[in-house]
Protein backbone atom coordinates (compact mmCIF):
# COMPACT_ATOMS: atom_id res chain seq x y z
CA UNK A 1 0.00 0.00 0.00
CA UNK A 2 2.84 2.41 0.84
CA UNK A 3 4.55 1.74 -2.51
CA UNK A 4 1.29 2.60 -4.27
CA UNK A 5 1.05 5.90 -2.37
CA UNK A 6 4.63 6.78 -3.36
CA UNK A 7 3.86 5.96 -7.04
CA UNK A 8 0.84 8.28 -6.83
CA UNK A 9 3.15 11.13 -5.79
CA UNK A 10 2.61 11.22 -2.04
CA UNK A 11 5.65 11.66 0.18
CA UNK A 12 4.35 12.07 3.74
CA UNK A 13 1.60 10.81 6.00
CA UNK A 14 0.12 13.30 8.47
CA UNK A 15 -1.15 11.74 11.71
CA UNK A 16 -4.10 13.77 12.92
CA UNK A 17 -5.84 11.70 15.58
CA UNK A 18 -5.40 8.36 17.28
CA UNK A 19 -8.14 6.83 19.43
CA UNK A 20 -7.30 3.96 21.78
CA UNK A 21 -10.03 1.98 23.52
CA UNK A 22 -9.25 -0.54 26.25
CA UNK A 23 -12.00 -2.96 27.28
CA UNK A 24 -11.69 -5.06 30.43
CA UNK A 25 -12.80 -8.69 30.19
CA UNK A 26 -14.15 -9.03 33.69
CA UNK A 27 -16.97 -7.78 35.79
CA UNK A 28 -17.28 -4.09 36.57
CA UNK A 29 -16.17 -2.59 39.90
CA UNK A 30 -13.00 -4.70 40.13
CA UNK A 31 -9.94 -2.92 41.61
CA UNK A 32 -8.06 -2.80 38.29
CA UNK A 33 -5.93 0.06 36.98
CA UNK A 34 -4.35 0.54 33.57
CA UNK A 35 -1.35 2.60 32.56
CA UNK A 36 -1.23 3.40 28.84
CA UNK A 37 1.67 5.16 27.12
CA UNK A 38 1.95 6.18 23.46
CA UNK A 39 5.53 6.24 22.09
CA UNK A 40 7.20 7.56 18.96
CA UNK A 41 9.95 4.96 18.57
CA UNK A 42 12.24 7.01 16.32
CA UNK A 43 13.77 8.58 19.46
CA UNK A 44 16.39 6.73 21.53
CA UNK A 45 15.64 8.27 24.93
CA UNK A 46 12.39 7.46 26.69
CA UNK A 47 11.63 11.06 27.70
CA UNK A 48 11.76 12.13 24.05
CA UNK A 49 9.79 9.13 22.75
CA UNK A 50 6.75 9.46 25.02
CA UNK A 51 3.87 11.31 23.36
CA UNK A 52 1.46 10.87 26.26
CA UNK A 53 0.67 8.65 29.23
CA UNK A 54 -2.56 7.95 31.08
CA UNK A 55 -3.27 6.17 34.37
CA UNK A 56 -6.90 5.21 34.92
CA UNK A 57 -9.09 2.71 36.70
CA UNK A 58 -11.01 0.09 34.76
CA UNK A 59 -13.86 -0.19 37.26
CA UNK A 60 -16.34 0.99 34.59
CA UNK A 61 -14.98 -1.58 32.13
CA UNK A 62 -13.83 0.72 29.27
CA UNK A 63 -11.20 3.44 28.79
CA UNK A 64 -11.36 5.61 25.67
CA UNK A 65 -8.45 7.95 24.89
CA UNK A 66 -7.98 10.28 21.93
CA UNK A 67 -4.49 11.55 21.08
CA UNK A 68 -3.67 14.28 18.58
CA UNK A 69 0.00 13.66 17.65
CA UNK A 70 -0.10 16.19 14.75
CA UNK A 71 3.12 15.26 12.97
CA UNK A 72 4.28 14.09 9.55
CA UNK A 73 5.99 10.79 8.78
CA UNK A 74 7.95 10.39 5.52
CA UNK A 75 6.64 7.41 3.56
CA UNK A 76 10.21 6.40 2.65
CA UNK A 77 11.27 6.23 6.32
CA UNK A 78 12.33 2.68 7.23
CA UNK A 79 10.74 3.11 10.70
CA UNK A 80 7.36 3.98 9.14
CA UNK A 81 5.70 0.64 9.90
CA UNK A 82 6.40 0.68 13.62
CA UNK A 83 7.03 4.28 14.63
CA UNK A 84 4.04 4.41 17.01
CA UNK A 85 3.77 1.89 19.82
CA UNK A 86 1.38 1.53 22.73
CA UNK A 87 2.74 0.37 26.08
CA UNK A 88 0.10 -1.11 28.38
CA UNK A 89 0.35 -2.17 32.01
CA UNK A 90 -2.67 -3.58 33.87
CA UNK A 91 -2.57 -4.00 37.66
CA UNK A 92 -5.16 -5.26 40.10
CA UNK A 93 -7.35 -8.35 40.18
CA UNK A 94 -5.26 -11.37 39.23
CA UNK A 95 -6.43 -13.72 36.50
CA UNK A 96 -5.32 -17.17 35.42
CA UNK A 97 -2.24 -17.36 33.17
CA UNK A 98 -2.93 -17.31 29.41
CA UNK A 99 -6.34 -15.67 29.88
CA UNK A 100 -7.30 -12.47 28.11
CA UNK A 101 -7.65 -9.63 30.59
CA UNK A 102 -8.47 -6.84 28.15
CA UNK A 103 -8.82 -5.93 24.46
CA UNK A 104 -7.04 -2.95 22.93
CA UNK A 105 -8.68 -1.30 19.91
CA UNK A 106 -7.33 1.59 17.83
CA UNK A 107 -8.74 4.06 15.33
CA UNK A 108 -6.39 6.28 13.29
CA UNK A 109 -7.24 9.37 11.23
CA UNK A 110 -4.48 10.33 8.80
CA UNK A 111 -3.97 12.28 5.59
CA UNK A 112 -1.62 11.57 2.68
CA UNK A 113 0.41 14.58 1.50
CA UNK A 114 2.84 15.30 -1.30
CA UNK A 115 4.84 17.67 0.91
CA UNK A 116 6.19 17.81 4.47
CA UNK A 117 4.55 21.12 5.37
CA UNK A 118 0.84 21.49 5.99
CA UNK A 119 0.28 23.88 3.07
CA UNK A 120 -2.78 24.08 0.82
CA UNK A 121 -2.27 22.83 -2.74
CA UNK A 122 -3.47 25.09 -5.56
CA UNK A 123 -6.42 23.64 -7.44
CA UNK A 124 -7.08 21.09 -4.71
CA UNK A 125 -10.60 21.30 -3.29
CA UNK A 126 -9.92 19.58 0.02
CA UNK A 127 -7.76 17.15 1.88
CA UNK A 128 -8.56 13.48 1.93
CA UNK A 129 -8.82 12.12 5.45
CA UNK A 130 -8.50 8.35 5.71
CA UNK A 131 -9.78 6.63 8.83
CA UNK A 132 -8.88 3.05 9.72
Q: How many CA atoms lie within 13 A of 76 on its CB side?
A: 8
Contact yes or no for 55/61 (Cβ under 8 A): no
Can you give the pLDDT at residue 19? 92
User: What pLDDT digit, counting tens, does each position of 86-130 carry?
Assistant: 999 888 877 778 878 888 898 888 888 887 665 555 555 455 555
DSSP string, 25-85: SS-TT---EEEEEEEETT-SSHHHHEEEEEEEE-TTSEEEEEE---EEEETT-TTGGGSEE
Confidence band of 132 (pLDDT split at 50, 70, 90)? low
Pick the CATH number of 2-118+125-131 from 2.60.120, 1.10.1060, 2.40.50, 3.30.750: 2.60.120
pLDDT at position 36 over 60: yes
Amino acid sequence: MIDQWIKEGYSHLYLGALRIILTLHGRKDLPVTARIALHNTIYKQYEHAVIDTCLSTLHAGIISLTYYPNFNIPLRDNKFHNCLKVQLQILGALMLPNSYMASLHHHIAYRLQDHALDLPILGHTGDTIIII
